[in-house]
Structure 1
Amino acid sequence: MVRPSTPSLVVGEVSHARRQPVVHRFRHRHYQWLVDVDDLPRLPWPLTSLARFDPRDHLAGGGAVDRHGIGIAGDVRRFCSERGRPLPDGTRILMLAHARALGHAFNPLTVFFCLDAEDRLGTAVLEVHNTYGERHSYVLAPDADGNASVDKAFYVSPFNDLSGSYAVRLRLDARRVGASIRLDRAGETVFTASAMGDPRPATVHSVLALSLRHPLMTYRVPALIRWHGIRLWLRRLPVVKRPSHESTPSQEAAR
């Protein structure tokens, strides 16, 4: 399989479809970055304000120093090792995420694709942020088609408790990059969500063009999440009390 080059801008759509107990759907245009965590891009000044990759925005914050290394790359390797899926030497880690822009970063979902020496997707890490300032990560063992499953273990939406499991499908090729997630509970699908797009080389011109076309992206995403939450609340969808999470939440390995 031909993988996309890095760094790339993945331009596409994010969609969400809630099926029960009320039906609610939306679709928005957006873009993300696909980067190699061992070779993070650095834009020339003054464009650094439009895209920056800060280890504090992901996983353990990039502060630990040991045999796994430092920064985002070290955190991914350390996390996988601690969860029983150590990454072999030569593993390449690609991150699909929003960059920190204009001083702000928010990633509802970050995907770390861990490619072995033969460029196969052997392990993946999904990092989820909620709008309460918490984050949680899952280790997945995708099959040859990029499919995996994992039990839900983190409070994201105020309208869903922690029950159920996620069915995940990942895609990483030269034409499409992204993730689709389905929440199943008691044999029924509660909602589906997808963030998918077409990868294109990240150049100074393309970064500027997308920043103008989609201004304030990292501010817009949490604002839209809250807007759709208000709409669901107005439709009297019951709110589930948020449990207290540890500052570094316990993180579960995929089945």
Structure 2
Amino acid sequence: MSAAPAPLPAAPSLYACEVAHVRVQPVRHAIRHRTYLWLVDLDDLPRLPRVLRPIARFDVRDHFGGHAPTIRAGLDAFLSDRGVTNADGRILMLAHARVFGHVFNPLTLYWCHDRTGRLVCVVAEVHNTYGGRHCYLLRPDEHGDADVAKEFYVSPFFGVEGSYRMRLPVPGDRLELTVQLRSDDGSRPLTATVRGRRRPARAGSLLRAALRHPWSTLGVSLGIRWHGIRLYLKGLPVHPRPVPPTREGML
């Protein structure tokens, strides 16, 4: 007899986070910044007072190509195209919301459950700073670990070769995510982590987070570009973007 599924976390929730990227070759370079993320139920998105909507908006155009009527519909179409038919329960999305009309989500995660509450799969939606996006369908084990071949150009300092090992347990009181790039030669040149603690998604919590991290998503995209300049000045070789572009997973 299989174990009963664990209770799903409360949503919506806010996570005060530290995001870290550690590159160990060919040069060592570390990035750390603080931000906050939303965990939301795609069938019950937050209903915010009008005065707070400019600092927290979830827009369908930011996910899965932006052509579906809802984010859930875009996800369902992606899953259907890949033969996943039993993710018909609760879907939890971890992402930045739009803040004053701007959003940039390097990684959006969707934990997809069946009607009994069991986890069916995880979808990792990746955006790069060139306007591209790609989705990975993951089947994590009981520890939340999943391996997937790299298929999408993200950084100019890495090609599209290699694979990812992702640890993506369903968030609870704590958020603990790891994405590790693994090269074909067995090396592990880059590890990214997200560590955070859950806060209730109340008006006061949101205002405090927004005051601590104003223009949070703009800061993410500007920070990526700034560290790219630093890496270039350190002499890292640039890998040109694939032509034609790598196939995007949701289009």
TM-score, normalising length: structure 2: 0.92
The question of whether the paired residues in 2 share the 8 Å contact of 1:30 and 1:214 is answered with yes
Aligned to 1:205: 204
The residue type paired with residue 31 of structure 2 is: F
**CA 1:24 to 1:35, structure 2 compared with 1: closer, same or farther past 3 Å?**
same
**CA 1:196 to 1:116, structure 2 compared with 1: closer, same or farther past 3 Å?**
farther
**CA 1:245 to 1:32, structure 2 compared with 1: closer, same or farther past 3 Å?**
farther
The question of whether the paired residues in 1 share the 8 Å contact of 2:112 and 2:119 is answered with yes
1:55 to 54, 60, 64: 60
The question of whether the paired residues in 1 share the 8 Å contact of 2:19 and 2:34 is answered with yes
**2:226 matched to 1:227?**
yes
**Alpha-carbon offset, residue 88 of structure 1:** 3.9
Q: Which ranges in structure 1 are unaligned for 5 or more consecutive residues?
A: 65-69
Q: Distance in 1 between matches of 2:127 and 2:137?
A: 15
Aligned to 1:114: 112
The question of whether the paired residues in 1 share the 8 Å contact of 2:13 and 2:199 is answered with yes
**CA 1:210 to 1:191, structure 2 compared with 1: closer, same or farther past 3 Å?**
same
Aligned to 1:10: 15
The residue type paired with residue 130 of structure 2 is: Y
**Worse-matched range after superposition: 115-124 or 128-137:** 115-124
Deviations 1:164-196 (A, max 9, x none): 000000022422225210000121111100123
The question of whether the paired residues in 2 share the 8 Å contact of 1:150 and 1:167 is answered with yes
Identity %: 51
Matches within 5 A, 1:1-255: 1-61=6-66, 63-64=67-68, 70-89=69-88, 91-185=89-183, 186-244=185-243, 249-251=247-249
The question of whether the paired residues in 1 share the 8 Å contact of 2:133 and 2:248 is answered with no
Aligned to 2:3: none
3-state SS of paired residue (1:126):
strand
The residue type paired with residue 83 of structure 2 is: G
The question of whether the paired residues in 2 share the 8 Å contact of 1:52 and 1:100 is answered with yes
**CA 1:88 to 1:227, structure 2 compared with 1: closer, same or farther past 3 Å?**
closer
The residue type paired with residue 44 of structure 1 is: P
**CA 1:211 to 1:145, structure 2 compared with 1: closer, same or farther past 3 Å?**
same
Q: Distance in 1 between matches of 2:8 and 2:199?
A: 12
**Alpha-carbon offset, residue 85 of structure 1:** 2.1
The question of whether the paired residues in 2 share the 8 Å contact of 1:18 and 1:192 is answered with yes
Q: Distance in 1 between matches of 2:59 and 2:176?
A: 21
The residue type paired with residue 27 of structure 2 is: V
**Alpha-carbon offset, residue 48 of structure 1:** 0.5
**CA 1:16 to 1:245, structure 2 compared with 1: closer, same or farther past 3 Å?**
farther
**CA 1:182 to 1:172, structure 2 compared with 1: closer, same or farther past 3 Å?**
same
Q: Distance in 2 between matches of 1:240 and 1:216?
A: 30
Q: Which ranges in structure 2 are unaligned for 5 or more consecutive residues?
A: 1-5
Q: Distance in 2 between matches of 1:78 and 1:123?
A: 14
3-state SS of paired residue (1:60):
helix
| Paired positions, count | 244
**CA 1:196 to 1:121, structure 2 compared with 1: closer, same or farther past 3 Å?**
farther
The residue type paired with residue 140 of structure 1 is: L
The question of whether the paired residues in 2 share the 8 Å contact of 1:124 and 1:140 is answered with yes
